[in-house]
Amino acid sequence: MCQDAFVITSAEELQEVIDNLREQQGDLTDCEVKRGLGGVPTVGPTLSAFGNMPSGGTIIVGLDESQRFAATGVDDLAAMRHGIAAQARAAVAPPVTVTFDDYLVDGERVLVCDVSGLPIQHRPCRYQKRAYLRQADGDYMMSEADLDLIEDRKRRAAADHTMWSTDDARPVPGSGLDDLDDQLVDDLLRTSRARNARHRGTPDDLVLRDLGVTTSTGELTVAGAYVIGRYPQRFVPSWSVTAAVQLPPGSESRTRDLTHIEGPLPAMLAELNEWVARNIHTTIVYRPDGNAFNEAELPAVAVRELTANALVHRDLGPYTRGKAISVRLTGDKLIIWSPGGLRGITTAQLGQPGGRNAVNPSVYRLCERLSLPSGDRVIEAEGGGIREARRRTADAGLRPITFSDTGVSFTAIVSRNHLLSQADMAWLATNARDHDLTQTQRVILASMSHGQEWTNKMVRDEFDRIDSRDAQVLLQDLAARNLAETVGERGGTHYRISPTLPPAADGVITIVTPSDQQVLDFSVEASATDHEPVRATSPRPAATNYDAVLAEIRATGPSTVEALAGSTGLSERQVRYALHRLAHDGSVSNNGGRPKLWSLVEPR
């Protein structure tokens, strides 16, 4: 069974997925939504597509996409489980493993079906003799090239391959030394001789052969032609990149600044980074001293590392010919797509110690020795590029980078959405100007200003790749600076804004709900462990989101989540969070119908 698939284990995690679905306004690459009313839906194509993905995927039954993924519920959970399990056993071949759980969402029971991906030797998974591939907006039949790529992967997995059996070590027919870029050759030879004493007295042609640029017959290898060839697209036109700004629906045209990028790998990387730089805008960033400066909305280092990874690790085998790297910039994200998937590691291992497995080892070795015109190396020689890209996006206050591996393609997505609003940055500039805080601490402190409390586990869940010790240090540092105060002790410790600081004037921060707590409040009593409920022990502060929601219901009467969001100015997630807490307090209840109306509970 494939590992590292994201599995929904709590109602809070399910709510996070629903929020993401609403933000994307459609299904996700690893998540399919079914309404589920009127019988068991046909999910054979989706089961096939998730079975063909290394990490599988999730089917959620009981949400209505046409109603912005509102919870409509499942009439008969047992029958729905049985029907989907039967399709997983008999409708697809080989069968796939599905685990089930159900959660209460806005009073409706929603079924979550986690589908495990099949090992490579058991792919492709087929439904009605057709193999399906997952894309963000649905399931598509695999092309013959995709199926050939899977068969090639199976052959490789079954054999003990050396470096010279990799795709980038294959000879390029009709090529020779005259097809190389002289400047790149000079840079490569100079760097190699500086790093390796054995190459200092070796003729150029032998050094190039040692580095995998040429074969014993004098032809270029795929790596040599692709990385330092004068014009690699002469041999394979799809060794290139297409980049475009994707315009929103309703625009006069679909794209803007459509660019076809060609040349040797370092030249393509430099041109691609320039394309991204000219199509993104700058944003105002506040220094700890309160002064503002302009900064590119996407960190240049993160963009360079991700685009370099796409160019270096794209599949160069014969079954991906015709597939170029695709880069798209939308209103809210940068999407980098490359043919072929990961090999030997999973998306969860990217950027981790030992989480490196070069798809093209010869390409990787050459790029270690080459630099861009800016002086930056093409790739990070120690495999820390992904880790650095994650750190830079976190420092810039952006949402974490997401990665998706379908088995035949790989996608990296960088959000353009910042975790801090202009109002929050202004609040921080006023109230934390004398403190040199990290970006993560700034986000947490701004969230606290809106009434949110934080725990060690919440920090680990919300921010990409922060371990328990680092989370503890940054929270304790806020308390040591008198910017936050602690409530409780040991496993039940919570951190909230210091009473010496003013609260924020509005509620723009999305409240983070920890998955290990059923009851939350701003003044809490210490629990025995992290996994026990936290019980309220004192009144809530006055200026909070749920007080605003309660006041609105009191003023206007029974109302829906959507109406309350519109009248209070809060997000639907904030309203829903407040309603659940008010319901636990016994202050409000819902009618259990459609539309779901929330009203005051009259005191006895």
Greater pLDDT, 311 or 358: 311
pLDDT per residue as tens digits for the range 539-595: 333 335 767 888 888 888 888 888 888 788 776 666 776 776 677 667 888 776 666
pLDDT per residue as tens digits for the range 24-65: 777 788 889 998 888 899 999 999 999 999 888 899 999 988
Question: Rounded to whole angstroms, how far apart are CA atoms 465 and 307?
Answer: 21
pLDDT per residue as tens digits for the range 433-462: 888 888 788 888 988 887 778 888 878 766
- The string of DSSP codes covering 136-162 is TTEEEEPPHHHHHHHHHHHHHHTS---
Q: How far is CA 338 from the centre of its chain?
A: 15
Amino acid 234: pLDDT: 95
Amino acid 604: pLDDT: 47
Amino acid 193: pLDDT: 93
Q: Is the dihedral of CA 433, 435, 438, 441 positive or negative?
A: negative
Q: Is the dihedral of CA 132, 135, 139, 140 positive or negative?
A: negative
Q: Which residue carries 């209840």 as its tokens?
A: 589
Q: Quick one: angle between helices 561-568 and 572-585, nearest 10?
A: 110
CA nearest neighbour of 369 among 408, 312, 330, 448: 312
User: According to DSSP H, which parts of 410-493 are helical?
Assistant: 422-431, 439-449, 456-462, 468-480
pLDDT per residue as tens digits for the range 155-189: 877 665 443 457 899 999 999 999 999 999 999 99
- How many angstroms separate the Cα of 595 from the Cα of each of 23, 106, 111, 138? 22, 11, 20, 28
- How many angstroms separate the Cα of 1 from the Cα of each of 76, 97, 287? 29, 9, 48
Q: What are the structural domains, with CATH classification, of the chain?
A: 11-142 (3.30.950.30), 241-415 (3.30.565.60), 419-534 (1.10.10.10), 544-604 (1.10.10.10)
pLDDT per residue as tens digits for the range 454-503: 888 878 766 655 777 888 899 999 999 999 999 877 667 889 999 899 88
3 φ, ψ to 5°? -110, 175
